[in-house]
Structure 1
Amino acid sequence: MNDLYKYRLYLTAFVLTFVSFSPLIEVEVKFFIYAIFLALNLTLRPKKGASVLPVLVFIGILLIGFVRDIWLSGSSSQTSFVGLYFLTCALFALTSYMAFTRKELVRAVERILFLGAILSLVGVIIYLLAPNLIYLFPDYINRGFNHKTIGITNFLLIDAGPVKRNTGFASEPGMWQFLMNVGLLFHFFLLKYRYSFFKVCVYCLALVSTVSTAGVLTFALTLLVAFHFFNKRHKLFFVVSILLAIPLLLAVISYHLQYKLNPDVEGFRARLEPAVNIISEHVSILGRGNVFYDANVDRYDIGSFDSYTQLTIRYGLLGLFAFVACIVFGRIRHSWIRIPIVITAFSQAIWFYPITFFILMISMGAKDYDER
């Protein structure tokens, strides 16, 4: 691997992670970066034999949706841009998957996520030991809420003070847990029985500190996968740790059932009711398109926050089934890599992120696709 190739590899991994998930970078800037790297990836000789037909079908549906957006939007360039942005995200991921071997890019992404995990724990230490220090950091607004940032990690502010949840460099804890679970699974995907116990512990701390409902469930399933690779000493360590932590685990489960998954809680209803209403009124085979979604759903904040219902409204049942097919028709031996997508998609709109497409594609490729 020459220096230029390695430099492009890690820059691509950086774009897949930090650039994609950072709220500090505007969508228009992200689109411009994706387009540049898409073009650069096309200059590299693609590896052969990688069959990702379900993803290609999904991308085809995005292309049809984009053409439809242009036709429906008329003079509105913003709504047609949304469809182009989604399509560019997918094509950037596809060309990245083709430009580098699977293990190369997975390794580069995992190293960046592990560094992010370590740096995010700096933020945890700050809000636990010196929360007043957060008020000295630069401000930014995301989804109408005031945040503070030091670049490597972000903080949400409410009237009571900084929210004590690990956000990392992502926009919110729910997104950060997704990346941390991906990083942990990528680590086992690469090394399996030769894993680093130190890395596993760092990812565990970063995940637990997000206090995310989806993160807790995904992490539990991830640990079941990881347990298969642990040696006897580490298996014993985790079993004893879980037994000792049963009172804490019961408290966490009780908290999530009472405040996160309770239909009587306003926060849960704010996510559930719009999804039920919008689905019951606007389900169709081809969907209502991004023009309708942005004009009538997103603008008035009556849409859902998850991937499945967003896809249903934007691209119809056809788009939803294509996305689900990308999840279902991957290789069985790599099905565990898709765990973060399946669960997080119920609470976050992650379906269009380049790394989501990348995960789906690497779970479809056979072992020989690691060779150029």
Structure 2
Amino acid sequence: MPGSKKKPAAEPKAGNTLADKLARLGIAREQDLVLHLPLRYEDHTQLCPLAALKAGQAWQVEATIVTTEIQYRPRRQLVCLLEDGEAQLVLRFFHFYPSQQKALAPGKRVRAFGDVREGHFGLEIVHPSFQVVAPGTPLPDRLTPVYPTTAGLAQDALRKLVHRALVRDPAYLAETLPPWTREPRRLWGFGEAVRYLHEPPTDASQAALDERTHPAWTRLKFDELIAQQLSLKIHRRARARRRAPRLPGDTTLTRALYARLPFTLTRAQQRVIAEIRRDLAKAEPMQRLLQGDVGSGKTVVAALAALQAIESGYQVAFMAPTEILAEQHYRKLAAWLDGLPLKMAWLSGGLPAKTKRQAKAAIESGEAQFAIGTHMLFQDEV
């Protein structure tokens, strides 16, 4: 994201505690807060009278605290009874701090939001979000974002940090796409989309926001896709600059293996083998994953690639994750390659010490061109 300065996400005077909490969320710079996007939204723009509440939905209420007490059955909890002159509602906290108990003192007027449920003594909200308010305190004119957070970092604190980042530096919201890319696709502007997601108006489709189908989300998805593709392109260019030995082979060993195989290769195998042959002949590292079902013929493809490297004057290490599988490969490859002018070495943890020494010596001297084994192949002497 564009930005002229890399301001820290937390002010120095806030200490390391806040910075550490933000770091757990992947937020190191103030501009990181701009793209710390909401998980969902709550509608705090309306109040519901206590008498009109229904269980099974999220509501926002405003009422006066009548009583606040700590109860111990069935477990320790803070219980507040609210009243608005027509009905009552219980607020219940199973995890609370002394500061919350002090804030929720009888006589205080609170605004609370949460899922209403049927309790033993009427309707209640468990662990609501709340704030102490004065009579006539205006309601928000935007939907309220709920952000991914971490222990000890309240939603209100996170909202303030995000809002500060949004208004502090216009460069954080600078456009990232040219008009000829954005306009044909009817994409929103970057700043417009980010502001909308952090502070959606009351008439916004909450369903479209929560389901990530809103045009504001579409714009940021497009940016993510562009960033991913650019990252891949940069990675490919960097890989292309790396050098690797060319392994063109002379086909003497590969042709010999083709001639003695007891089966015919499929078209898919032939296609993949040709692609791997071309990759190995290049002066840049091959980056390829060969995928196939069990019994689809991956081993013979790997064997032909190994023979091309041996034809080019190099040794090959063929590793399997378990000793049983490695030995199966060794026996199969030994049968296929029997009689060809190359030596194979078998190395695993279960071999006798003398046999291991002999195998390592053959590999180290270059006498064995084809080494097959388990993680034992990952040794300095090998």
Question: TM-score over 0.5 for the alignment?
Answer: no
TM-score scaled by length of structure 1: 0.24
TM-score scaled by length of structure 2: 0.23
Larger RCO (CA under 8 A, 6+ residues apart) = 1
**Larger helix fraction of residues:** 1
Query: Radius of gyration: which is bigger?
Result: 2
